[in-house]
Amino acid sequence: AQEQLVSAGKMELLGQLAGGIAHDMNNALTVVLGEAGLLYDQAPEEAEAITDAVEHASSLTRQLLAMGRREVVQVRPIALASTLERACAMLRRTLPKDITVELSVAEPAAVRADPNQIQQLTLNLGTNAAHAMTEGGVLRVRVDRAGERAVLVFEDTGSGMDELTQARIFEPFFTTKAVGMGTGLGLPSVRGIVESLGGQIECHSALGEGTRFVIELPGIELAEVEGSGASMDDDAALR
Ligand code: ADP
């Protein structure tokens, strides 16, 4: 049953179910938060502990709501290099200064996807990589092709993972982070995005040796991307 839950289609269903529950849960949490507020005078420490716990719970429900929401995804031909360039620029603004983000393009590749999906996936993988590089390090992002497939690699110089951890990273709610620091929804959502685009994701990692995520997506011709010479001509011909 666990394995079924993890598959991408089930993730979407889980997201919808969870989204419905999260909405009601959030309302209930708001009430608890309000009542805890009334306790502050008599028992400030307890009131604070309740408030912290409720805030953690409500950050979980917010993420669940986001998963359940039917996001309007606009899939279209995009070049991975320019999309990743923007996503990496965002990472550099977000991540601590001692984390270097390097982007290289071994071979340009194009896919059918919503740029926001690639952005989201980069943000999740990049944030995880940064969490694993507490002393600083390098996140290498590479765009490549393998035959008909577009390849995206995220490689960090962080702490890596043992095999037991690796076996569970795509399970919803699996996290090794402290309470309030992790939700365990980052990688399931990355995998959900990848599989919704017809692709696959693999993780290679060893404790103390860093981690590499390899994503393969169905590739398309670069010429299909809007703004590349050929597709402009095609567009003009259609009009
Ligand atoms: P969260 O980040 O909220 O814990 P994720 O689903 O994104 O949830 O990740 C699940 C777990 O996978 C993390 O708690 C961590 O143990 C492990 N993990 C993910 N990415 C990396 C990485 N780049 N290096 C080491 N461990 C990682």
Per-residue pLDDT tens over the stretch 94-118 = 999 999 999 999 999 999 999 999 9
> ∠ at Cα 91 (87, 96), nearest 5°?
175
Q: In which element (H, E) is residue 119 found?
A: helix 115-132
Question: Is the model's pLDDT at 93 over the cut of 60?
Answer: yes
Cβ contact 165:126 at 8 Å = no
- Please report the pLDDT score of residue 25 as a whole number: 82
Question: Which residue has better confidence, 90 or 5?
Answer: 90
Strands 137-146 and 149-156: antiparallel
170 compared with 229, residue with greater pLDDT: 170
Q: Do residues 154 and 125 lie in contact, with contact meaning Cβ atoms separated by under 8 Å?
A: yes
Tens of pLDDT, residue by residue over 116-170, are 999 989 999 999 999 999 999 999 999 999 999 999 999 999 999 999 999 999 9
CA 183–ligand 1 middle distance (angstroms): 9
pLDDT at 71: 62
Q: Kindly state the tokens that stand for 204.
A: 């290679």
Task: Average the pLDDT over 161-182 and give the result.
Answer: 90
Cβ 77 under 6 angstroms from ligand 1: no
Of 175, 191, 202, the one to substitute when testing ligand 1's pocket (max ligand atoms within 8 A of C-beta) is 175
15: enclosing H helix or E strand: helix 8-39
Give the separation between CA 67 and CA 189, rounded to whole angstroms. Answer: 8
Contact 228, 168 (CB under 8 A): no
pLDDT at 233: 45
pLDDT given at position 73: 82
Residue 53 in this model has a pLDDT that exceeds 60: yes
Give the model's pLDDT for residue 150.
98
Confidence of residue 239 (pLDDT cuts 50, 70, 90): very low
Q: Is the ipTM of this complex over 0.95?
A: yes
Of 174 and 232, which is predicted with more confidence?
174
Mutate which of 133, 139, 187 for ligand 1? The one with the most ligand atoms within 8 Å of its CB, which is 187
Query: Where does the pLDDT of residue 4 fall: very low under 50, low under 70, confident under 90, or very high at 90 and above?
Result: very low
Residue 232 predicted with pLDDT over 80: no
Q: What is the pLDDT of residue 200?
A: 97
Query: Which contiguous run of DSSP H or E holds residue 226?
Result: none
Look up residue 198 and give its amino acid.
G
Calculate Rg over the CA atoms of the chain. 21
Counted residue by residue, the chain has a size of 239
Residue of 194, 173, 169, 193 lying closest to 183 (CA atoms): 173
Helix (H, G, I), strand (E, B) or coil at 196: helix
Q: Which atom of ligand 1 is nearest to the CA of 128?
A: 20
Q: For residue 152, which phi and psi values (nearest 5 degrees)?
A: -130, 125
